[in-house]
Chain A
Amino acid sequence: MPIEINWQLLMPELVIALTLLIVLVFDLFDSISKTVLGWMTIVGAAIALWVSIQMHQAGTVGTQFNEMFKVDNFSLFFNMIFLVSTILVVLISMSYLDRGDRKQGPYYLLILLATLGMMLMAAGNELIIVFLGLELMSLSLYVLAGYFRENPASSEAGMKYLLLGAFASAFFLYGIALIYGGAGTTSIPAIAEKITAESSSPLLLAGMFLMVVGFGFKVAIVPFHQWAPDVYEGAPTTIAAFISAGPKAAGFAAFLRIFMEALPNLQTEWSGVLILLAMLTMTVGNVIAIAQTNIKRMLAYSSIAHAGYVLIGLAAANNDGISSAMLYLLIYCVMNIGAFGVVILAKTEDGESLMISDYAGLGTRKPLLAMFMSVMLLSLAGFPPTAGFVGKFYIFKAAIGAGHIWLVIIGAVNTAISAFYYLRVVVTMYMREPEEELEFSPYASTLVVGLIIAAVGVLLIGILPSLMLTPAQNSVF
């Protein structure tokens, strides 16, 4: 039976795949400056982003390949998150790679591959496709985490990520197998039809919880979070920014798709677990972040805590919950990559200035940079009028609408806790005198552009939330 392919539906993915091939080919020519590859990546991602936005506005819906691949506003909104993260990460990577005289071709290639994997995850209408996307993304990320081969910390990060990531994938696959055993299919809509609240068997529940474990590893939920700080610390800073943004969103995309669309009838079983995990994740992430002295580790624990906030939206399990989780992931990606961008700028040649105390006096010596960092940190802490506040507010609203008042109280208290360590960086920048001069790499124009985009985005969404909130609300399955 010939398969009819609706090329238009696959446009964003195709653009990324094409860009990938172009980058691969152009990498062969030594005469071409390697920054060109970065620009190609950006242009490709920007085109895919533009296409996704157009399709989102048109409300395109459709399935492909025997209903294995589903394009709807949900997957298109996530495409936007992934592509924005990719563009920002490439922008902050270009000068970073130049500085260390790194090989650039494979780097952009792997980033594009990972992006493609994420897009597959969000569009997967079939557990196997989701798994394929997950692996495509994860394998690229393992390599990227260990990209600085000669740096033992980077190699260690790559190794650690690979080992724990492989475990997670195995858990996830095992979960798929058990669900297949229980439902007799791996197609997401078919599972939803087969499984009713009465038909829940121990087999299905076991499969479901194995999947929670698998996802838990990928998006770094407590108690499956141990890899995150080590990998973030060791991996190249740009890759730490990347891992904390797009892949986390992709994990949540698949999480949402599978639990809300395939297993809604088991909601009573899983929502209690998610509530517990959300409370645990926020609290552990924030409390441990307080004790960190290394800014990358602090951002790692903060990233864990933010996964907890997103889980609140998932636990609410209503339309608001889904769209608030999506909005929050978008906002989080932008503000977190922005924060990492500043860390990259502040890094000296020998790469040894990652202590928070190194930022002392930044406010007077680099007022603009300090201002950027403050905006990002205040947004991460959830102060108005930044986007972080809007995101948190919407998530809390969704959860209260679902009746989870205690969950929101714990979330709100966690926000206050998190303010402590984010503000500590601000304190260091503005209120402490530097002990020794920290050298800064010169402002690279690409990095500055990335930072400006992030800052404008954070403030714009903060002041005019409807810009992104309405699209997010229109993106629920």
Chain B
Amino acid sequence: MLLSTVIFLPLLGVIAIALLRGLGASAIKGIALAIGLITFVISLGLYTGFNADTATFQLGGTPIEWISGLGISYHIGIDGISLWLVLLTTFLTPICILAAWNSVEKGLSGFMMSLLALETGMLGVFCSLDLFLFFVFWESMLIPMYFLIGIWGGERRIYATVKFVLYTMAGSALMLVGILVLYFQNDNSFDLTTLSGPFEHSDLLFLAFFVAFAIKVPLFPFHTWLPDAHVEAPTVGSVILAGVLLKMGTYGIIRFCLPLFPDAAEKFTPLIVPLAVIGIIYGALVAMVQPDLKKLVAYSSVSHLGFVVLGLFSKNPAGLQGSVLQMINHGLSTGALFLLVGMIYERRHSRMIVDFGGLSKRMPIFATVFMIVTLSSIGLPGLNGFVGEFMILFGSFVQGAFSKIYVVFATAGVILAAVYMLWMFQRVMFGTLDKANEGLPDLNAREIVVMLPLLLFIVWIGVYPKPFLNKMEKSVDLVVTKVQAAPAMGQLEKGVPAGTKLALRKTEHEQSEKEANTK
């Protein structure tokens, strides 16, 4: 019941705004913010009510039969992985509403309605335990995002929004086929919790799901929609896009691709890991030469999400935990970066790096916040980015299921990130102050309120990540167990004694856990 409330409360807000839109702009904003905040507060109940000692899905209540003729039920629940993504979503939405306070000129009610409808869609994706339900949320979430970019976006917004929708739909079309094929192999049921392999045609099924998620992540070479969408989207759209939407791709991989099709995941790892590493390096190199701040942040997302995918395919607890943590971190840091870029754009109506310089003299608070967020994005120890990236690289290097050379290249991505972020920071904040920028005001109280919660968590996760890792540990371990069973099974078929290999992996596994704990 609690979970359903969290999912559908924003939808209630949509209806409320639709009915009360005549009351004027401040009422609409007030309703939206109130709904966003109440949803967040209620979702905190999920955190306290969540039992971290088990990997089962919880808090969803009993499944309700929905379309009995097709074996579809309204079945929701969260585990330690989705818990964090749900909280990230409910956390970012009110921040976005507050950030958009004065920047929406036309169609305010539509904007807020889209934002809240989007929240319901995103939460639904993370909580669905029925494949049909998952797909319904996955697809319906496209529509509000489509409007957000298409109506309130920049100059090339129509091109960007259509590209975004078509890319996603092309991927999800194949996923739909995959879901239906799974249905017939699961005793005519769409229930995720009863799904257990091995499945027939698991290679093709894996690809059907993976391509849909890879487009969403986006993994190189499916990333071309991302810079367009980010640059054209309104600030808030970019925050949600980077903060939550991209995570749906990585969430899908960890929820479906890895545990359901471990054989196929093993088989395609040599293909996917290089793509992830190329994404890391390529995203960083392209970000380096961007003249546009927003585009730079957009390409940095490609790079960061490459790390997440790398960690997922390391298939060990450290790597996976790092990946999940990095999903949250990326949502916080990149969300914050987009908000900051949006704030400066509202003042100067330019996002070109050359137009700025010396801002730190004129806007000290802005510069400080920007510095913290930049360092978090780079992965400075003590801030959140470091913990996630370190765990991913550690997991991949020590016992990744792939060659260490990839990890070496990925680590180079960390250095490149420092280069492009710090260079950008230097060009924007230091040097001579342009005349046009002399009148720029510093952050006002509302903007500080918007940024403070983000900064709080950026520091918190950096200094003390344990509560975050504790809650997800069991669920991540379950995924790891499922995915590690695969190669052993593959070996068994080939006639190689499976026991030895399994035992070997297990000791490795325990060792790394100890190491992770001591760290």
Contacts and interface: CB of A to CB of B under 8 A. Distances in A.
Contact of A383 (B143, B161, B180): B143
A385 B150 contact: no
Given A394-B70, A470-B69, A419 B136 contact: no
Contact of B67 (A420, A432, A466): A466
Interface stretch (B52-60, B170-178, B233-241, B407-415): B170-178
B500 interface: no
Interface string B141-174: 0110011001100000110011001100110011
A378 B180 contact: no
Contacts of A383: 139-140, 142-143
Nearest to A409: B177
A363 to B, nearest CB: 8
Nearest to B135: A384
B165 A423 contact: yes
A385 B132 CA distance: 11
A430 B113 CA distance: 15
A34 B143 CA distance: 43
B6 to A, nearest CB: 18
Contacts of B165: 419, 423
Given A466-B68, A469-B69, A416 B181 contact: no
Given A412-B174, A465-B70, 20 more contacts: A383-B139, A384-B139, A397-B183, A400-B180, A400-B181, A409-B177, A412-B177, A413-B173, A415-B173, A416-B169, A420-B162, A423-B162, A423-B165, A427-B161, A427-B162, A431-B151, A466-B66, A469-B67, A470-B68, A473-B69
Interface in B55-104: 66-70
B150 A427 contact: yes
A77 to B, nearest CB: 14
A408 B177 contact: yes
A400 B173 contact: no
Contacts of A385: 136, 140
A18 interface: no
Contacts of A6: none
A174 interface: no
Given A384-B136, A416-B169, A419-B169, A393 B158 contact: no
Chain A contact surface mostly:
helix
Interface of B: 66-70, 106-107, 132, 135-137, 139-140, 142-143, 146-147, 150-151, 157-158, 161-162, 165-166, 169-170, 173-174, 176-177, 180-181, 183-184
Contacts of B177: 396, 400, 405, 408-409, 412
Contacts of A423: 146, 162, 165
A416 B173 contact: yes
Contacts of B176: 393, 396, 412
A57 interface: no
A293 interface: no
A384 B140 contact: yes
A416 B67 contact: no
Interface in A403-431: 405, 408-409, 412-413, 415-416, 419-420, 423-424, 426-427, 430-431
A364 B107 contact: yes
A431 B158 contact: yes
Contacts of A272: none
20 contacts: A363-B151, A384-B140, A393-B176, A397-B180, A400-B180, A400-B181, A400-B184, A405-B177, A405-B181, A409-B177, A413-B173, A415-B173, A420-B166, A426-B146, A427-B150, A430-B147, A431-B157, A431-B161, A469-B70, A470-B68
Interface of A: 363-364, 378, 383-385, 389-390, 393-394, 396-397, 400-401, 405, 408-409, 412-413, 415-416, 419-420, 423-424, 426-427, 430-432, 465-466, 469-470, 473
Contacts of B66: 466
A415 B143 contact: no
A183 B169 CA distance: 48
Nearest to A397: B180
Contact of B132 (A364, A393, A424): A393
A384 B72 CA distance: 15
Contacts of A364: 106-107
A364 B152 CA distance: 13
A233 B173 CA distance: 31
A102 B151 CA distance: 40
A275 to B, nearest CB: 16
B139 A389 contact: yes
Contacts of A408: 177, 180
A425 to B, nearest CB: 12
Given A364-B107, A423-B165, A469-B70, A416 B139 contact: no
Given A385-B140, A427-B162, A465 B67 contact: yes
A430 B151 contact: yes
A305 to B, nearest CB: 15
A311 to B, nearest CB: 18
Contacts of B135: 384
Contacts of A424: 162
Nearest to B168: A416
Nearest to A384: B136
A413 B175 CA distance: 11
A295 B277 CA distance: 46
Contacts of A430: 147, 150-151
A155 B135 CA distance: 46
Contacts of B174: 409, 412
A396 B158 contact: no
A108 B68 CA distance: 40
Nearest to B72: A465
Contacts of A470: 68-69
A38 to B, nearest CB: 32
Contact of B170 (A394, A413, A426): A413
Nearest to A414: B173
A416 B166 contact: yes
A419 B166 contact: yes
A420 B168 CA distance: 12
Nearest to B176: A412
Contacts of B137: 384
Contacts of A412: 173-174, 176-177
A80 B331 CA distance: 50
B170 to A, nearest CB: 5
A431 B157 CA distance: 9
Contacts of B180: 396-397, 400, 408
A327 to B, nearest CB: 10
Contacts of A390: 67
Contacts of B181: 400, 405
Give the most central of B69, B180, B184: most A CB within 10 Å: B69
A383 B169 CA distance: 10
A466 B67 CA distance: 5
Contact of A389 (B136, B158, B183): B136
A431 B147 CA distance: 9
A424 B171 CA distance: 20
Contacts of B140: 383-385
Nearest to A378: B143
B234 to A, nearest CB: 13
Rank and list the top 9 A-B pairs by shortest CB-CB distance, nearest first.
Answer: A412-B173, A416-B169, A384-B136, A400-B180, A384-B140, A431-B150, A469-B69, A416-B170, A416-B173
Contacts of B69: 465-466, 469-470, 473
A389 B106 CA distance: 31
Contacts of A389: 136, 139
A187 to B, nearest CB: 32
Nearest to B147: A430
A415 B169 contact: yes
A364 B135 CA distance: 31
A306 to B, nearest CB: 17
B117 to A, nearest CB: 11
Contacts of B147: 430
Contacts of A432: 158
B113 to A, nearest CB: 11
A424 B158 CA distance: 9
Contacts of B158: 427, 431-432
